[in-house]
Chain A
């Protein structure tokens, strides 16, 4: 099967590099071609990278609590640039303080993300989900 490409990055003024490397490793091991744009990634970098590499999904991390601000408008920009249907996942410490995850999830789904992951999610979960969403699972 042709290798599927994903764009991975930590959005906004966020410099958490460790989780980013772990995800890069895990998705690569799982057979994906990972375009890792690293930390301090802007929405435009996610989109431009996806366009050039024909990526199937954007994997957005945010660890510093400002995820809601940084992710707003990403889906709309994708639509504007012709990749409106691209799969978008987001995960990490998306908001400040101890907020109820269900409400956080609702907000990010409303922003156009396909899946939202709480803190402490292991890479296996999004990898499995992505295989499912891309129709790669044989069952």
Chain B
């Protein structure tokens, strides 16, 4: 056996996956509570102990990990215009697997600085201006940031004409200060790859240590990346294939969690019908969105509020019944539904979370009436022809009827302007291996791909 140990240090659970590279099988998976306060290895060891050891003991040829423990990778991004470089910076941070705490636009104010001090991000991403475009705002923002009382890692990805100057200003206070390519080199051109790599580099060299995760590196080779990056990487591999091994084609992965619902799409999203004009920022082929108000437990109150009347209609419950249920989840976020009624509540909530999260992820089509007839304008990705929707995350995996919840991702004829998949097949990441396979991709992409194809369960 050629055993590889893959670990995901999550915010709540540490998940362990052991893979045999030879037989291309999952040898075992297990989880235990994450122990960041004491020693992060305690949780990992108790998870590992749950998997029966072979005769000669484990002999791992590789040991890799990703982490979203200790708050994950928390970032604050800043750009110039909200819809342009600030949005591009936000997407770069999300694509790097970060939790984006705030996105600021235009000139930073003292109030913005106070927010930065309070929310303690791990990395700041500073953008603004196209290459050769606006230079004043990013320089002023660098000046403002250099007055912060604490030093933070900063990635600069703005107007290249003043990047060095901005870095010099920031280095008076902050370290490291890394310069990446502009997230928007030309107007309407999104270029997030260089910023993403810079963020990952800073994460590996500085953040892991700052979070006390380096203790794990004595046993492991290294913590490779934040968990969301691992999931994105696995998603990309699964969609595209590797070498002669075909992938599953363009797909969406929906991760319904207790605090957020994350949607990943690996798809171009070009218009599926002729003569549609594209508007707005171009969409990244690998796109991740995180909805902080659409969680099933920690943010269940926010979800009820956001979902509003459709949820109540679907459930047929009174307001008090809903409030009672919410208080149960408040007491115990890990509560598993006890009765049929409670399960019904979970399905209705899950359906809403998936529906709204995918709504926000996909694009819109709009009819514009001109004196020469109707024209169609598309903003965002058209995912109507998309064939594969994959569900993952604790809530779906422990649910008796994940398909019912995942149906929220499907196109609704009553809302024809929202470009969700019309007739997809549904799969479940039953063994919860996507993050682990993102890690395995670093060792053997082919095996990671084959294992994913083998272990995704068609619903």
Q: Do A and B come from one complex?
A: yes
Q: Is the CB of B134 within 8 A of A51?
A: yes
Q: Is the CB of B372 within 8 A of A52?
A: no
Closest CB in chain A relative to B107 CB, distance in Å: 10
B81: interface (CB < 8 Å): yes
> With A and B bound together, what is the CA distance between A88 and B369 in angstroms?
27
Chain B residue at smallest Cβ distance from A12: B370
Q: Is the CB of A52 within 8 A of B184?
A: yes
Q: Is the CB of B133 within 8 A of A54?
A: yes
Q: Count A/B pairs, Cβ under 8 Å.
A: 58
A52 and B187 in contact, given A5-B133, A39-B277 (Cβ under 8 angstroms): yes
Q: Is the CB of B81 within 8 A of A51?
A: yes
B344: interface (CB < 8 Å): no
Closest CB in chain B relative to A94 CB, distance in Å: 14
Q: Is the CB of A13 within 8 A of B369?
A: yes
Chain B residue at smallest Cβ distance from A39: B277
**Interface size classification for chain B:** 20 to 34
Chain B residue at smallest Cβ distance from A7: B187
Q: Which of chain A's residues have a CB closer than 8 A to the CB of B133? A: 5, 52-54
B79-99: which have CB < 8 Å to A? 80-81, 83-85
Q: Is the CB of A40 within 8 A of B129?
A: no
A40-60 vs B: 1/0 string, CB under 8 Å?
100010001101111000000
Q: Is the CB of B134 within 8 A of A53?
A: yes
> With A and B bound together, what is the CA distance between A3 and B131 in angstroms?
13
Closest CB in chain A relative to B427 CB, distance in Å: 38
Cross-chain contact of B129 among A14, A15, A38, A54 (Cβ < 8 A): A54
Q: Which of chain B's residues have a CB closer than 8 A to the CB of A13? A: 368-370
A65: interface (CB < 8 Å): yes
Q: Which of chain A's residues have a CB closer than 8 A to the CB of B458? A: none
Q: Is the CB of A65 within 8 A of B371?
A: yes
Q: Which of chain B's residues have a CB closer than 8 A to the CB of A64? A: 370-372
A48 and B81 in contact, given A35-B187, A40-B377, A54-B134 (Cβ under 8 angstroms): yes
A15 and B80 in contact, given A40-B368, A52-B129, A54-B133 (Cβ under 8 angstroms): no
> With A and B bound together, what is the CA distance between A3 and B279 in angstroms?
27
A51 and B369 in contact, given A39-B277, A40-B377 (Cβ under 8 angstroms): no
Q: Which of chain B's residues have a CB closer than 8 A to the CB of A65? A: 371
Q: Which of chain B's residues have a CB closer than 8 A to the CB of A52? A: 80-81, 84-85, 128-130, 133-134, 184, 187
> With A and B bound together, what is the CA distance between A87 and B22 in angstroms?
68
B276-300: which have CB < 8 Å to A? 277, 279
Q: Which of chain B's residues have a CB closer than 8 A to the CB of A51? A: 80-81, 134
B248-270: which have CB < 8 Å to A? none
Q: Is the CB of B370 within 8 A of A49?
A: no
A14-37 vs B: 1/0 string, CB under 8 Å?
110000000000000000010101
> With A and B bound together, what is the CA distance between A53 and B84 in angstroms?
11
> With A and B bound together, what is the CA distance between A15 and B367 in angstroms?
13
**Of listed B83, B129, B187, residue having the most chain A CB within 10 A:** B187
**Of listed A13, A33, A49, A53, residue having the most chain B CB within 10 A:** A53
A14 and B370 in contact, given A48-B81, A54-B135 (Cβ under 8 angstroms): yes
> With A and B bound together, what is the CA distance between A127 and B184 in angstroms?
28
B375: interface (CB < 8 Å): yes
Q: Is the CB of B187 within 8 A of A15?
A: no
Q: Which of chain A's residues have a CB closer than 8 A to the CB of B377? A: 40
> With A and B bound together, what is the CA distance between A40 and B133 in angstroms?
23
B157-199 vs A: 1/0 string, CB under 8 Å?
0000000000000000000000000001001100000000000
Q: Which of chain B's residues have a CB closer than 8 A to the CB of A37? A: 187-188
> With A and B bound together, what is the CA distance between A52 and B186 in angstroms?
9
Q: Is the CB of A53 within 8 A of B368?
A: no
> With A and B bound together, what is the CA distance between A118 and B286 in angstroms?
46
Q: Is the CB of B187 within 8 A of A49?
A: yes
> With A and B bound together, what is the CA distance between A81 and B377 in angstroms?
27
Q: Which of chain A's residues have a CB closer than 8 A to the CB of B81? A: 48, 51-52
Closest CB in chain A relative to B277 CB, distance in Å: 7
A53 and B371 in contact, given A48-B81, A48-B84 (Cβ under 8 angstroms): no
> With A and B bound together, what is the CA distance between A38 and B187 in angstroms?
12
Chain A residue at smallest Cβ distance from B128: A52
Q: Is the CB of A48 within 8 A of B83?
A: yes
> With A and B bound together, what is the CA distance between A40 and B368 in angstroms?
9
Q: Which of chain A's residues have a CB closer than 8 A to the CB of B368? A: 13, 15, 40
**Of listed A13, A14, A51, A52, residue having the most chain B CB within 10 A:** A52
Q: Which of chain B's residues have a CB closer than 8 A to the CB of A5? A: 132-133
Beyond known contacts A37-B188, A49-B84: 20 more, CB 8 A cutoff = A5-B132, A13-B368, A15-B368, A15-B372, A15-B375, A38-B277, A40-B375, A40-B377, A44-B83, A48-B81, A48-B84, A51-B134, A52-B80, A52-B81, A52-B84, A52-B130, A53-B132, A53-B134, A53-B187, A64-B372
22 contacts between A and B (CB under 8 A): A5-B132, A13-B368, A15-B368, A15-B375, A37-B188, A40-B277, A40-B279, A40-B368, A44-B83, A48-B83, A49-B84, A49-B187, A51-B134, A52-B129, A52-B130, A52-B133, A52-B134, A53-B130, A53-B134, A54-B134, A64-B370, A64-B371
Binding site for B on A (CB under 8 A): 3, 5, 13-15, 33, 35, 37-40, 44, 48-49, 51-54, 64-65
Binding site for A on B (CB under 8 A): 80-81, 83-85, 128-130, 132-135, 184, 187-188, 277, 279, 368-372, 375, 377
